[in-house]
Amino acid sequence: MNLEKLIVENVKIALENLYNQSVDDKLIQVQSTRKDFEGDYTLVVFPFLKISKKNPEQTALEIGNFLKENVSEIADYNIVKGFLNLSISNLYWLSFFNGHCANPSFGHIGSDENSPKIMIEYSSPNTNKPLHLGHIRNNLLGFSVSQILKAAGKEVVMVNLVNDRGIHICKSMLAWQKFGNASTPSSSGKKGDHLVGEYYVKFDVEYKKQIAELITQGRTEEQAKKEAPILLEAQEMLRKWEAKDTEIYSLWKEMNSWVYDGFEKTYKKLGVYFDKMYYESETYLLGKQNVIDGLKKGVLIQKDDSSVWADLTADGLDEKILLRSDGTSVYMTQDIGTAILRHNEFNADEMTYVVGNEQDYHFKVLSLVLQKLGYEWGKKLHHLSYGMVELPEGKMKSREGTVVDADDLIDEMIETARKTSQELGKLDGLSPEEAEKVYYTIAMGALKYFILKVDPRKNMTFNPNESIDFNGNTGPFIQYTYARIQSILRKAKEQEIEIPNEFNYLNINKKEIDLLKYLHRLPQTVQEAAAGYSPALIANFVYELVKEFNQFYHEFSILKETDENAKKFRLMLSKSVAYAIKNCMNLLGIDVPERM
């Protein structure tokens, strides 16, 4: 039982003994004591005045006396108006420290055969362009949430649905045919996804040129957009692809293989991976039979033009098309089929989709349609809806080639980390090879932390220069604190100081207790982050822990402490903080360097 629950249970006992009244748990408000007051946990007394029939101070006094006399964990209390501030005993903190803090994976719960199974879909790139800044947020969120759920005791399956078909893919293919001069990644010296992405932009340039020409010939803008020859050619290419035309299908496979090779390199740089890959070209027809079956059962409707729809007006939504009048599928149909396929494969307790908030409506519809088709598990679909990520200069557009390429951004971050580290002399003494590894670790820590510290639901602006800072709420600041602790521990080892795993040291000062309180909160924070699908909770927790440690480090000696018991206790406390930092950063997909 955690301390908050222990206090709640004993407050209930106190109220029954003092006032012969039982109260609902919801009336018992326990929170961490504010830093400007003495105490560890604060109980709000006002809800109990009706049953005590006394003023707030007298009620707090009586409850405080009862808890101090009957609960061994509570050493003392003080009263500030209607607030009862409780101080936890040093014996409790020492017992907690001895029981948990030598465990490198403290706060993590392992999964077993009875653990809930959660499928996480993330990344979902298109094969007509390289990954960009928006994809980075998606990938980092999906991976981090997966690691947090695992730490919280869930079994997690990470999947990726690659959007490898459709008109947008044909646009890149057609532009390559027209303007590519048979170039390949090897002949051009370009990464495969970058090469294909260039032709997607080239298509848009040519398309706009043709639209302008048609308008000068007397077409309206709307007519010109529909009649542009290059668009008509792309539409014809899509029809040929769906008919499995040998030449088109062969080109599609070849160009996609270039992109997959490029994606793999970027995923490796980002440190993300998947348990299974799905491809839209293999899943886009899967939902059609389910829709036809739903029509036969009368849960879907067919209109005069033979198109099939789901009527969701009774659920507060609108009508949603599932099959066009020519019998072809739409995106929703594909997602229905893919969801059923995955449920049959994994029988997950929940399927979570990491997709931007512009698709909120889509996933509400998907969940409802699956339920109407008889799949009760459709209500267990979860959309991890995240906000857009922009740069200080504004939004990005793929068609116009104004996106921030993921690889370019990573390279820029590494260069910034190299420059900043060299200016500060942070890595003096490391070999060039060792330094390069640390530059990469710092760069990726800066990028990942800056993005993940923001609540996923919020839009955000990514500023590369702000993210690489060795002070403030940044990844490098946290990494540097970890490296500082490792340096202290190395010096202790050089001095042949043996650090025990258990202590009988009750002279714990307030700063040390403050650190223990943070460590004590780690398991609860992991569970809260898992429940809320929010890496931001982990990021902000580890930042606060690091701030607290740095204050402790500046106020108290560790290696120069003359009291041997205090010195060893502080070394073990520092080591425990390092474990917590590493654990939290790993949950964010971030490495921490041993030297920095």
Cα(576)–Cα(455) distance, rounded to whole angstroms? 27
Is pLDDT above 80 for 403? Answer: no
406-587: CATH number: 1.10.730.10
pLDDT tens by residue, 82-107 = 999 999 999 999 999 999 988 999 99
Is pLDDT above 50 for 331? Answer: yes
Mean of pLDDT values over 349-378: 96
- Quote the pLDDT of residue 394: 52
Is pLDDT above 80 for 399? Answer: no
Prediction pTM value? 0.92
Is pLDDT above 80 for 123? Answer: yes
Cα(173)–Cα(171) distance, rounded to whole angstroms? 5
CB 251 within 8 A of CB 178: no
pLDDT band, residue 1 (cuts 50/70/90): low
Is pLDDT above 50 for 58? Answer: yes
pLDDT band, residue 429 (cuts 50/70/90): confident
Q: What is the 3-state secondary structure (H, E, C) of 335-369?
A: HHHHHHHHHHHHCCCEEEEEEEHHHHHHHHHHHHH
pLDDT tens by residue, 266-279 = 999 999 999 999 99
- Is 430 or 534 the better-scoring residue by pLDDT? 534
Domain segments of the chain as ranges: 3-88, 166-276, 406-587
Q: Quote the percentage of the chain above a pLDDT of 70.
A: 98
Is pLDDT above 90 for 38? Answer: yes
- Quote the pLDDT of residue 250: 97
Tell me which amino acid residue 349 is.
D
Cα(27)–Cα(48) distance, rounded to whole angstroms? 8
Judging by beta carbons within 10 Å of its beta carbon (0-12, 13-18, 19+), is residue 276 exposed, middle or buried? middle
Is pLDDT above 50 for 569? Answer: yes
- Check whether domain 3-88 has CATH 3.30.1360.70, yes or no: yes
- Quote the pLDDT of residue 464: 78
pLDDT band, residue 148 (cuts 50/70/90): very high
Mean of pLDDT values over 119-145: 96
Q: Which of 192, 109, 90 lies closest to 152, judged by CA?
A: 109
- Quote the pLDDT of residue 150: 97
Residue 277 forms beta bridges with which residues? 160
Cα(384)–Cα(518) distance, rounded to whole angstroms? 28
- Is 493 or 398 the better-scoring residue by pLDDT? 493
Is pLDDT above 90 for 121? Answer: yes
- Quote the pLDDT of residue 401: 47
Is pLDDT above 90 for 46? Answer: yes
- Is 338 or 328 the better-scoring residue by pLDDT? 338
Cα(313)–Cα(574) distance, rounded to whole angstroms? 59
Task: For residue 548, give every residue at least 6 positions away whose Cβ sits within 8 Å of its Cβ, in sequence order, or none.
Answer: 511, 514, 515, 518
Among 81-90, 371-380, 394-403, 535-544, the range scoring the smallest mean pLDDT is 394-403
- Quote the pLDDT of residue 396: 44
